[in-house]
Amino acid sequence: MAEADDKKALEGIVEMTERSVEERIRDFGEILQDIESVDDKMRRLWKEIYENAIADRQNSYVMFTKLVKMTGDKSSEHAVHGKGIATYIERMQRANDQLVKLAELIADAKKKDETLNPDELFEQIKKRH
């Protein structure tokens, strides 16, 4: 009976994807490597921001699902844990907001790469050799 209640409580929850955090971070690092106009310090900072946002979102999701399982359809449990559930949803939203802002910064950096003139490109090549 308890297992059926758990399944019922989780029916409306959107599941996290199967991709591991490590895969996501690796893929993100590859995206950053393709942007020539960003220095290594900025890449490391952006990667750290990404890692933290992904970890925060995933950890909040885990705790959120645990609380949802605990509360089920019981109004007394929801009264006790409702604020906690809302807090985890807010944390996931803040992590999503960080990811959106980071995506905007990366898009701007990619635009800058696309608009480099030949003289700037030559100067960047000279600096690397």
Q: Smallest Cα–Cα separation from 106: which of 50, 40, 35, 54?
A: 35
The pLDDT of residue 1 is above 50: no
pLDDT, tens only, 58-104: 899 999 999 998 888 898 988 999 999 999 999 999 999 999 999 99
* Burial readout 72-92 (b: 16 or more C-beta within 10 A, e: otherwise): eeeeeebeebeeebeebeebb
What residues does each domain of the chain span?
3-7+19-128
On whether the pTM is more than 0.75, the answer is no
Q: What is the reported pLDDT for 37?
A: 81
CA distance 108 to 35: 10
Q: Quote the pLDDT of residue 15.
A: 58
